[in-house]
Structure 1
Amino acid sequence: MTPLRLVVVDDHPVVRDGLRGMLGTQPDFEIVGEAASGTEALTVVAAVRPDVVLTDLRLPDPSGGTLIRLLRERVPSVQVLVLTTHDTDSDVLPAVEAGAIGYLLKDAPREELFRAVRAAARGETVLSPSVATLLLSRIRPSRPLGEARLSAREREVLALIARGRTNREAAADLHISEATVKTHLLHIYAKLEVPDRASAVAAAFQRGILS
């Protein structure tokens, strides 16, 4: 299996070293470059053309949404996964609008980070729960608690997804088929009026369905 090619962008050397060491424990990851500024990131990514760029938001110029937009424009095949300590409107919204595939906080468990990198490489959106909740609150007002009537099984599926389980893992945990999990997810999306897994989890926390 060809390893996923990664570039790490952060202006703190200790953070880059830590990420390189952590990501390097995974046999399907290969660190092919790193950068300490936006300008350096653009140069490195253009040269090595990785699958995923993991980047902080607040870097020497350019940073944030501007850097993400330029990365996506210059190397359209790359997926940008934000890894930062900031989850305010002024940070999250420009990053997502600029084309970031995912947005994680630096206190995320390492297994969550590993899953996020793999999901980003597949083109799947990955958001930390607090970020998903923020985005959802910006596009839809809060609903009364319990308005969405999820079945007991749908709640079980949603709870597993919220803990980061894949469809296959959720199916194994519940002793049902992967196709059945997908069907439950489609019903959940329809009931919560959301387009994807991250939004479903955010909506469930926001409305008190999950705690």
Structure 2
Amino acid sequence: MSGPITVVVVDGHTLTRYGLAGLVSADPEISIVGECGLAAEAPARIAVAHPDVVVLDVVLPDADGLRLARELRDRYPSLGIVVLTCHDEDDVLFRALETGVSAFVAKTAPNAEVLAAIRHAAVAAASFTATGLASALARRGQATLPTAATLALSPREREVLSLLATGQSVPAIAGSMFVSLSTAKTYVSRLYDKLGATNRANAIMTALRLGLISTELSAIA
């Protein structure tokens, strides 16, 4: 990437925006090119600034931050999206994972972790990273699980599983596998059925427990 990573900040707290500006100003590789406090203002700011990364709060004064993140992901597949949160509960983390954001960071995280999340989002927008995700997956237990012997995953399904584990969205999986979006959705649906999962988090958790993937596979650890 040539030039600094450009960032738009969307956060309802003026002090948070000011703090991020101060943090980023000390890093010559990252530059804030826009900011706003409302979800309603974000699309226009992003359309004008064309940032590499958007950093937004999970709770905005006028909207659900993760709903905004989903809209941005659908509109800009290559946009890095970092979610900052005061609510580090497992359910919020899993919602972020399902939304397709690039990184999930607590507002209490060290400065280096916030900057690392921005850098990650800039170069791997379709890959999800969050400190403690593996632990959260372990805490979300399932009553019954299939066994590795009974799954009989096809090579394509194993490929889909690996891509899901790296945090790739379904459109990104379609591109990686050189198949149509509908075909990729079919593969994901079949994989979920075999794993007894209803979403990505369930699928990854089950696969981890069965030894089908490891946390070293991706940036989800």
What is the TM-score normalised by the length of structure 1?
Answer: 0.64
Match of 2:140 in 1: 138
TM-superposed CA distance for 1:14, in Å, is: 0.8
Identity of aligned residues (%): 37
Whole-angstrom distance in 1 between the partners of 2:51 and 2:8:
6
The aligned amino acid for 1:83 is L
The aligned amino acid for 1:138 is R
Give 3-state SS (helix, strand or coil) of 2:31's partner.
strand
Select the residue among 127, 130, 141 that pairs with 1:127: 130
Give 3-state SS (helix, strand or coil) of 2:62's partner.
coil
Q: Find out whether 1:101 has 2:121 as its counterpart.
A: no
Match of 1:113 in 2: 114
Q: Confirm or deny: 8 A CA contact 1:64 1:91 kept in the other structure.
A: no
Instruction: Give unmatched runs, 5+ long, in structure 1.
Output: 142-189, 202-211
TM-superposed CA distance for 1:101, in Å, is: 0.9
The aligned amino acid for 1:104 is V
Give 3-state SS (helix, strand or coil) of 1:27's partner.
coil
Q: In 2 relative to 1, CA 13–69 (structure 1 residues): closer, same or farther, beyond 3 Å? A: same
What is the TM-score normalised by the length of structure 2?
Answer: 0.61
The aligned amino acid for 1:49 is H
TM-superposed CA distance for 1:136, in Å, is: 4.7
Give 3-state SS (helix, strand or coil) of 2:93's partner.
helix
TM-superposed CA distance for 1:46, in Å, is: 2.1
Select the residue among 193, 199, 203 that pairs with 2:213: 193
- Taking the TM superposition and a 5 Å limit, the aligned residue runs for 1:25-40 are 25-40=26-41
| Deviation string, structure 1 residues 136-192 (Cα, Å, up to 9, x no partner) | 543778xxxxxxxxxxxxxxxxxxxxxxxxxxxxxxxxxxxxxxxxxxxxxxxx968
The aligned amino acid for 2:107 is K
The aligned amino acid for 1:7 is V
Match of 2:5 in 1: 4
Q: In 2 relative to 1, CA 135–48 (structure 1 residues): closer, same or farther, beyond 3 Å? A: farther
Whole-angstrom distance in 1 between the partners of 2:212 and 2:130:
17
TM-superposed CA distance for 1:89, in Å, is: 3.8
The aligned amino acid for 2:16 is V
TM-superposed CA distance for 1:132, in Å, is: 4.1
The aligned amino acid for 1:134 is A
Match of 1:42 in 2: 43
CA RMSD of aligned residues (A): 2.8
Q: Which runs of 4+ in 1 moved over 6 A?
A: none
| Deviation string, structure 1 residues 12-59 (Cα, Å, up to 9, x no partner) | 101100101101111111101011011111221122121111111100
Q: In 2 relative to 1, CA 191–55 (structure 1 residues): closer, same or farther, beyond 3 Å? A: same
Q: Find out whether 1:66 has 2:100 as its counterpart.
A: no
| Deviation string, structure 1 residues 108-128 (Cα, Å, up to 9, x no partner) | 111121111111111143202
- Count residues in correspondence: 154
